[in-house]
Amino acid sequence: MSEFIQLHLLTSFPPANVNRDQLGRPKSAKMGGSDRLRISSQSLKRSWRTADLFQEALADHLGTRTKRLGVDIYKAFKEAGIKEKDAKEWAKTIAGVFGKVKKEKENDPEEEFEIEQLVHVSPAERASLDALVQTLIAEQRGPEKDDLDLLRKDEQAVDVALFGRMLASTPAFNVEAACQVAHAISVHPVVIEDDYFTAVDDLTNSDADSGAAHIGEAGFAAGLFYLYICINKDQLIENLGGNTELANQAVAALVETAAKVPPNGKQNSFASRAYASYILAEKGQAQPRSLSVAFLKAIDNRQNDNFGLEAIRELQSHRDNINAVYGLAIPHYQINALTGEGSLQALLDFIGQ
């Protein structure tokens, strides 16, 4: 049986728009008959993966997600004096290892070297790619079949090991994600409001023209969000080639980043920086389960208490009930920033034991 680490977080954001929909308004969803705010798992994972805290904790073990490998290869060949025709052909051949290359576009010459699908490349894969390019330049020749063994099943980047990778053209090198992240959902009903704003031209003569130089509108809302994260520790270790120490570093960095780093949408407008107010960490071999049903009935301040404290009570109560019904005894540790209980370091120690 695999060991699972489950994290349940409650994080409160003031008026903000951290994750926008196609209309530029905060993302939402209906749950339990109520309109709720939502933060997509894609937004959360990108904010964590690119956060300074995560990057610094796992330096040299993180990959790059890009479509532009072929562009970089082409430029390297051209700078080294390779003929245009050869540079194009060789760049497309090498980039094709990572995915199907786009067709030539007249309006953007570089686009013909881009891969159609974003690919997550590990440091080991990027190093082998760069070494091949330098070898071909030195030997003044194109890539041969034996040169194109660039993908790696081992030596994976931590972010690839955590969040997975899908290569449609070379599925043998797909990586099963060890970490599952739910969409964060507000525990209470919300109404998305509109911020009507204007901007004034600093050089306008107010006596002649007192009107606004710009008028705009932006959606926002405040919410207390429940977020569920599940990590398959055994899968993570397998993805990292059996490197348990690196897997423990990855889990610790992910947990701390999830607790401290919000999505960065509209931060300059709303400064919606927030740490998690409550974290419940569980670990064991029991089949994982989200506790989102604790908020199927929206929190509505029924006890005239702090929304955060009421949400924590609901979460703990549902955990106790579901454990009793299913006969579960899952070891856990929790921190509560609203009451000052527990510590993040102790929680990380518990997870890493």
Give the model confidence (pLDDT) of 182-237 as tens digits: 999 999 999 888 877 778 777 777 666 667 777 877 788 899 999 999 999 999 99
Q: At what angle do helices 41-49 and 244-260 cross, to 10 degrees?
A: 110
Give the model confidence (pLDDT) of 226-258 as tens digits: 999 999 999 999 999 999 999 999 999 999 999
Residue 23 — very low, low, confident or very high, per pLDDT cuts 50/70/90? confident
Given the DSSP bridges, would you call strands 64-66 and 28-31 parallel, antiparallel or unpaired?
unpaired
Residue 264: pLDDT over 90: no
Task: Return all residues near 187 (Cβ < 8 A) that are at least 6 apart.
Answer: 10, 36, 224, 225, 226, 295, 298, 299, 307, 311, 314
Average pLDDT, the chain: 91
- H helices of 58-195, in order, are 69-79, 84-95, 123-139, 158-163
CB atoms within 10 A of CB 337: 17
- Higher-confidence position of 26 and 109: 26
Given the DSSP bridges, would you call strands 193-199 and 64-66 parallel, antiparallel or unpaired?
unpaired
Residue 44: pLDDT over 60: yes
Give the model confidence (pLDDT) of 124-169 as tens digits: 999 999 999 999 999 999 999 999 999 988 888 999 999 999 988 7
Measure the CA–CA gap between 199 and 105, rounded to whole angstroms: 39
Instruction: Output the pTM of the full model.
Output: 0.91
Residue 58: pLDDT over 80: yes
Buried/exposed 33-61: b ≥16 CB within 10 Å, e otherwise: ebbbbbbbbebbbebbbebeebeebbeeb
Q: Can you give the pLDDT at residue 203? A: 76
Q: Can you give the pLDDT at residue 208? A: 66
Dihedral-angle region of residue 320 (phi above 0 means left; psi in -120 to 50 means alpha; beta otherwise): alpha
E strand spans, the chain: 4-16, 28-31, 34-39, 64-66, 119-121, 179-181, 184-186, 193-199, 214-232, 278-284, 332-336
DSSP code for 287: P
19: buried, middle or exposed (CB in 10 Å: 19+, 13-18, 0-12)? buried
159 near 62, Cβ under 8 Å? yes
Tell me which amino acid residue 77 is.
F
As a whole-number percent, the residues of the chain with pLDDT over 70 amount to 95
Q: Can you give the pLDDT at residue 199? A: 81
Residue 310 — very low, low, confident or very high, per pLDDT cuts 50/70/90? very high
**Could you tell me the CA-to-CA distances from 310 to 37, 224, 314, 321 in Å, in that order?**
18, 11, 6, 16
* Token pair in block for residue 126: 């990027």
